[in-house]
Amino acid sequence: MRHRHLTTAMLALGVMLLLDVLRVWLPSIITIFGQAAATPAELLGAFAVSWFLLALAAPALVRRLGARPVGLVAAGALAGARLALTAAPGGRLQLWLACAGLLAGLVWLAATAAVVARPVSGLALGLVAAAVGHALLGTEDLVWRGGWPGWTLSALLAGAFLAVQAGAGRTRAAVSTGGSGGARAWLLAGPATLLAGQLALSPAVWDAAASYRHGSPDLPGLGLPPAHVPALPILAVGLFVVAAFTRPPRWLAPVLWPAALLAGAVLFAADRADWLGPAFLLAAGGLGGCLALADALTDTHTETDTNTDARTDTGTGGDTDDAHTGGGIDTRPDAGADTRSGGGTGAGSVGSGRRGHAAVGGMLVFAVAAVAYYAAYDLGYPNGWVPVALAVLVGVVAVTGRPAAASVLPGTAPAWTAVGLMLLTAVAAGIHRPVPATERRAVAAGNVRVVAYNVRMGFGLDGRLDLDGLARAVTGSRPDVVLLSEVDRGWLLNGGHDTLALLARRLRMPYVFAPAADPVWGDAVLSRWPVRSGETRPLPAGGAPTGAQALGVTLDLGGGARLAVVATHLQPPPGRGPVTQARQVAAFATRYAAGRPLVLAGDLNTEPGDPAFLEFTGAGLVDALASARPVPTSPADDPREQIDHVFVSPGVTAADVVAPRSTASDHLPVTVTLTLP
């Protein structure tokens, strides 16, 4: 394998492993360290950012010990931590393993930056390959799957990374000779990773956007599973690859790609579900193009190495020699750079240090932006500015510099790469197609079994993604209708999973989803009967940091029978009850039911007898759990609070109330059998 291809493969595989660790580390910070908002947001943020600040010492370590030994040790630690996470039982051990893997990954990035001046090809391939692989897994990471398939694939990925890392290290005769060239491209590693995982290359967001495009005039703005293989994710992958590995005219690229990325971020920040598809398409093309621009433009300061001979090679891509264009490392005997293990103290060493600091600094931007985005849901400020600010940063860094001569990948490689990844994305969409609606002709004896469950984005009390545990807690009641709260359809902060689609496949029940906090977080109704109409209503925040909504759907039970179902998750302002939201949901539900039998359920964050609870009974609704009170549902390991409820319209009777014990979430599900009039 040519050296430049070996370097690209090493960087791509390392990025994939680092993303695997981040998908565990981010939710571990929230669910284990933060205990799902029980820890102050300021403390949580300080703990998270401290690991990235600690990594700022990595470039100095690389200069002292040498890029190759530091890179090999850090790569081994990263791969080892990744494999250990698959076996971790959750809890504090998972948190510390994820932190160790993250720190190792950051040190590895700094060591790699010291010897790679042109990282864009490896970064871009790593980001898009990780996205396509995540799509092939249905957005459920190997680290959570376990079993022999999870272990085998994880070991193969880690082994391939270590083998390529060792091979790339053996082929390096010298460090990059390019002064500080490549620093701007490395600076984009962190922002690009966050934008890709949050929006542009998130398979879970692709799923959510595809579901919003499906439906009927009776279901405006509500997400139903698509009945076909969606084209949006396939197109997004193709746009990203083509933009990242080709160049439009120089007069067009500096305007086109930053503008596309900014437009995608703005559409995403607008929190409009129907804009989600255009948002990630624009972001995918814009992000890929900005990465290519950063590779095509070198740093504005001098690129001349004081150790070089009479050649004019700058080490940043100006030489179009095949051995030098892709990897950014000149391996010819006359390279003139210091070949000692520590990299020397000449201009090459200065440049490698700047690249190392740029790589770790870019990841620090990732950490600060991720914390700022999440803390908004604890502190109550708008967070749509975070992806917009990142898009502006990426665009500015991408267009400021001076042109370099070489392209990222020569020849037809971008076209074939795009086609291959698009085909794999299509296969993923076909494999994980949602379950179709089940037609039922009539309700047996007029009975409907209902389950209401706050699933905490799929994470159990041990901090591990536990979709099988959630499915067992639900299927044990043999439900006909399931109402879910805290449903996550793509938050990178929670690992980037489409929790709803994953759970729906396990339950073999189609779903309707309505967003609350943003287009990929909200509430859902799963039903064995067809949905005939629906409506969603946003609820006033009233000082509550997280958004809320009420989702109403009408189910066709067969024989002309209809059942109105309303799912919601009330979010009270700090220190107060959700009285205003409760009043509006009760009014919405009675109006939406229009005389039909009604069931309203969810995490209402109010106890029986509280003012918010009385808003529902005052509106004429009946507490379906009254005969079994008390029915505590939170916290799941020691339930003391009765905050998950089921209300019905007069004439609907309730029986067989159960709150099955499970630690697959921080709440217990509540189940009840309803007899319709």
Residue 505 has pLDDT above 60, yes or no: yes
520-567 pLDDT, tens digit per residue, is 899 999 998 888 888 999 998 877 778 899 999 999 988 888 999 999
pLDDT of residue 433: 78
Q: Rounded distance, CA 322 to CA 561, Å?
A: 71
Report the CATH number of the 3-305+346-430 domain: 1.20.1250
Contacts of 676 (CB under 8 A, 6+ apart): 443, 446, 447, 448, 557, 561, 563, 597, 652
- Domain spanning 435-675: CATH superfamily: Endonuclease/exonuclease/phosphatase (3.60.10.10)
Q: Rounded distance, CA 226 to CA 238, Å?
A: 21
Which amino acid makes up residue 270? Answer: A
> Residue 622's beta-bridge partner residues?
648
Please tell me what DSSP assigns to residue 277: H
Task: Kindly state the tokens that stand for 93.
Answer: 């051990």
567-583 pLDDT, tens digit per residue, is 999 998 877 889 999 99
pLDDT of residue 34: 84
Burial of 381 (0-12, 13-18, 19+ CB in 10 A): exposed
pLDDT of residue 349: 60
Q: How many CB atoms lie within 10 A of CB 235?
A: 18
pLDDT band at 11; cut points 50, 70, 90: very high
Q: Rounded distance, CA 624 to CA 674, Å?
A: 8
Q: Rounded distance, CA 622 to CA 609, Å?
A: 13
The verdict on whether omega for the bond into residue 574 sits within 30 degrees of 0, i.e. cis, is: no
Residue 356 has pLDDT above 90, yes or no: yes
User: Nearest-CA neighbor of 147 among 86, 231, 201?
Assistant: 86
Query: How far are the Cα atoms of 144, 225, 374, 439 from residue 26, in angstroms, in the given order?
Result: 14, 27, 10, 40
pTM above 0.95, yes or no: no
Report CA 5 to chain centroid distance, whole Å. 29
Residue 335 has pLDDT above 70, yes or no: no
Q: Rounded distance, CA 596 to CA 590, Å?
A: 9
pLDDT of residue 429: 83
Please tell me what DSSP assigns to residue 214: -
The answer to whether residues 106 and 57 touch, using CB atoms and an 8 Å cutoff, is no
More confident residue, 282 or 271: 282
Domain boundaries, the chain: 3-305+346-430, 435-675
Range 209-234 burial, b when 16+ CB lie within 10 A, else e: bbbbbbbeeebeebbbbbeebbbbbb
Residues 48-73, mean pLDDT to the nearest whole number: 94
User: Nearest-CA neighbor of 478 among 450, 506, 454?
Assistant: 450
